[in-house]
Each structure stands twice: as structure tokens, then as C-alpha cells.
Structure 1
Amino acid sequence: MAPTVPPLSALMVKDWLGGLRWETKGYKGYDDKDNRVHQHRNLLHHRHSTHIAKTLVRNLATKSRPIISRCLADIYNNASERVHLCDRMEPEQFWAYEKNSWEWSQSFNDEAFWAFTHKLFLARALYLDTVPEGHRSRRYPLPEALDLFRDRFYARYGPGVISGSIFGTHPSQGELDKVQKKIFAAQKTRDTYFQYSQVDSEGDGSDRLKSTVVQDDRIDPNREKYYWWDEVHVEPTEDIVAYYFDLGLQNPRHGHKDAYQEIEDALKQAEEEEEREKLLDKERTGLEDDLMMVDVSKEDDCIGDMGMGGLEM
């Protein structure tokens, strides 16, 4: 008998301890009764929520939020080693390869996992914007894995990273054109991967819209969920080590493979072919230069002989 699947909101870490804020910053408006309301999106309620929840519960055989956080963190930690492929792949394709690197997560639908991923990054950005640095929770591994990927991504594609390579030099126009193309490509990669995950974003528009009547436009009605000085409700600790030990080789963290290897092999082959083509071009150019030098030498010899004969005469 299949386990009962709770809603996604019951499986994900929440509030101040979780390190993720699932409510967007929102905006002000009016409801049908002309009440001043604050409207925001709830990132845990969307058309992929049920599919994500079913995959987590059935494939991990648990409803434990700490265990789910740990297993998801494995995926994003592993992805941080592959940021060099992001400019070669669309985000849905990139994250499809990543989730296919783990046996338990292969059954995620590609589109659903990409949507879930950009919602996770948005939830993390919203939390960092809401809670001051000195008060942020480090209880769960998933937020830190998201931070690691984002840091490495921006270290490679961030503004100023590429243009900084020519700082203090006197580049030619050709070099400037190449750098400009790289800057444009990096910006396109950033926009593609994080278009829905900036702190002021309301997501992709597919999440449930919620309205709250407010008296003061300056008040964020969801901020109180993340007050770090409130009395903290500590969840009962779960024996994660025993959970993994009991599963043995069926432990979902053991079922890892390198799904990206075919991409890496294809890129390596393309680079090798490009190098071979460059060598062939160089050899052809060198042969043509040698032939031209031979012709010039013969012509010089003829002219020299005639000159010398004329002087002797």
C-alpha cells in the first residue's frame, strides 16, 4: 500500500529555522470590497506541488523534513561542481541531468523539477533579505547547498567577472569585441537561470495568490514568521544516521551516478576536434609560407645571377 502523501508544505522546512521564506514580498492593492490588501505568492502551492510531494515521499520512503532537506542538498551540492556547463545548457535541461544523477530523484518530471528549483532559490533569496546575517538559521543543509551553487554560479557568470580580465591593460578592438560577447553571454546565462529567483520577483506567476487586509502599507504581514527573537518551537530530533544505516545499499544517498558525463565527453571531443583543426590550419599555413619562400628564393637567385653577370661584363 502506497504511503499517504501529505501536501508539499508539510514536507519542506519552514519559518525562521528552515532558512527559506516561501512567501514573496508581494505588493499592495484592493480587494473586491475596496479593502487595502497585501498580495503575495505562496511558493509551496502550485501545479507541480503534488507531483513533487509524491516523488519525495515515495522514493525516499519518509516524511521527515530533515531527511528530505539532506537528500535535496545532495543534489544542489553536486550541481555546484557543474556550473561551467550552465552556459552550454538551458536550465531545464541542466537540472534534468542533475536530478537524473540520483536514483531516487530520476522520476521527477523535468519541467516540474526546474520549476521547483527556481522556487527554492527564490525562497532562499527572500529569507536572506528578511533575516539579518547574524541571526540566520543554519539548522538545515538545503539552504547552504543553494548558497554554494549560487555563489559558484555568480563567481563564473557574475557582472564584472569577465570584464575584470582586461582591467589595467590596453586591449585591441578585437579583444574588446570578444570580451563584450562574453559579457553578453554571461548576462544571458544569469537571466535564464535566475529570472524567477531575484528577491523582488513574484516568481513565474503560477503560485497561489494570497491577499491579507492591512492597515499600514509599510508592514510586511509575513515577516513575523521569521522573527528570530520569538520563542522557537524545536522539532523533535530524528535519528537520521539510523535511517540511512537501516536502508543500507538502498540508501538514496548511495544511488549517485554522473549523468553529466555524456555532456562532458561531448564537450571534450569538440575541443579536441577544434584543436586538431587549428593544428591542420597551422600546418597548411606553414606549408604555403614555405612554398612562397621557395619561389622567392629561386627568383632572387635568378636576379642575382643576372646582376653579377652584368657587373662582370
Structure 2
Amino acid sequence: MQQRHLGKILLGIGVVFLLGSCSPFSKLQKSGSDDAKYKGAIAYYKKGDWYRAGLLFEELIPVLKGSNESEMAQFYYAYTQYQQGQYLLSSTLFKKFYETFARSDYAQEAMYMYAYSLYRDTPSFNLDQSNTLTATSALQDFINAYPDSKYRDDATKQILDLRGKLERKAYEKAKLYYKTSGFNIASYKSSVIAINNFQKEFPDSEYNEELAYLKVDAEFSLAQNSLENKQKERYQEAISYHQAFIDKYPNSKYLKQAEKMFETSQKEIDRLDKAEQAREKEKEKLKNLPAKVTAAN
């Protein structure tokens, strides 16, 4: 029974292969003239058969060099790859097109499609964002090159979308440092640095209120877990962050928690000052003690 079933499968594969080998596309690919292949590629392209059109254009491009059809064959071939989701390949092909045919009527569209292909290939915010930076740069280069282009508004929206990914990535990174800061002093420091960097890079972000509060918390926690000789400076820094926080967000939902840390920081600074004063007084007492006289034998 198994052998009979296997035989049917092999027979089916053979029939499909035979039919495929006799198809009009296969005949065109094997024995058609360059002119026939070009017309066939255009016909498949117009029907949205990107795979077959792409195969024919790929085959034709080397032999069409210098001809009138060469420009359009390369342009259409780039689109066949884009339509199949091969965004990195299409970006390479569109870039090659506008560099090769800089004076073409399609050069502007090709430059945009190069950048847009890169945009489509960008990963989720939680992954490495190197491609996002590349795509952002390409879209900005396009806007700079063609400020009046019909694609300008779309390119601008795409830049904003990519910037949103970078913003979310930076936010999650800062939050991650904060979440892990309970394990070591270095993470408290890294959290504050990451939040400062975020606030500089994304001054209008919706995440800034939360991060401004977390910066107060991180610096306050850093002070609490520091050696005594470092505590006063870090409590003062926490107070400074608190002041900046309440100045910008006077009605924040985090206000009560921030006020508690502010009050504790002030009390700790007072305690540290008193301890320092006590030590100074003790030093003065020791200085004023009379020298011991050693009796002669």
C-alpha cells in the first residue's frame, strides 16, 4: 500500500513537471527571442505576475545593455522584487537604477523606492535598529534631493514612524536599566544616564513625564545604596531632579511619590551634615588635648 501511494505521488509530480515544461512561459523562457521575452515580461508585469516577470527581466538585463529597453527592464525588475517582499534586494536594485540612470524620468521614483524599500525592511522596535537608522537617512536624503516631490509627504510620515521606533527602543532601554537597578549600583547610574540621553534626543516624547520621575527614583535609590561619603552629593542630585520634575509636571500622577523622596533626601542630607559636624568637633577636641608627658627613668 505504501509503495502504491508513493508511486501516485511520484506520478503526480511528474505530470506537474511535464505540464510546466510545456507551459507558454517555459517555452518563452527556453526558446523565445529577446524581443518576445521582453514583451512577455511586460505582459506578466501588467498582470501582477511578479515572479515570472522577474525571471524574464533578470535574464534580459545583461543582454539588453545599451538598448532602449534596458532602462525599463531594470526599473520593472526592481519593482518585481519589491512586490514579492524582497525589500533588501529591491532597495539595492532601485539604488543601482537611479545611480545608473540619473537623468531618467524615473530616477526620482527609484530613489524614493530605494528609501521606501529600506523602510519596509525595518524591524520591530525591540530588535536592533541599525536598519531603521539607514532607512531614516535614506528618506531624509530623498527629501533633501527632491523637496517638492509628490512623495515628500509620505517620506516625512515614514521618517516620523521610524523615529517612533527609535524613541520606543530608547524608552525600553532606559526602563530596562531602571528595572534591573536593584541588583547593583552600576545599573542605577546607567538608568540615570539613559534617561538623560533620552530626554535630550526626544524632548517632546510622551514618555518624558514617566522617565523624569524614574530619574528621581533612580538617583534617590543610588544615594540610599551608596557609601556614606557619596550619599550627600547624590541626595542633592535627587533633589535637583525632583525640582526639574515638579517644575515641568506640577500635576503629575507621580507627584506624591516624588515628594516623599524629596523629603527623605532633605532629612538624609541634614543627618549627614550633623554627622559631619560631630566628626569635626571630635577632631577639634583631639587636637586640643594636652600632650602626654613620659616620666624619665
Larger RCO, structure (CA 8 Å, separation 6 or more) = 1
In our comparison, the structure showing a higher alpha carbon Rg is 2
Higher strand share: 1
Higher helix share: 2
What TM-score comes out, normalization by structure 2 length?
0.26
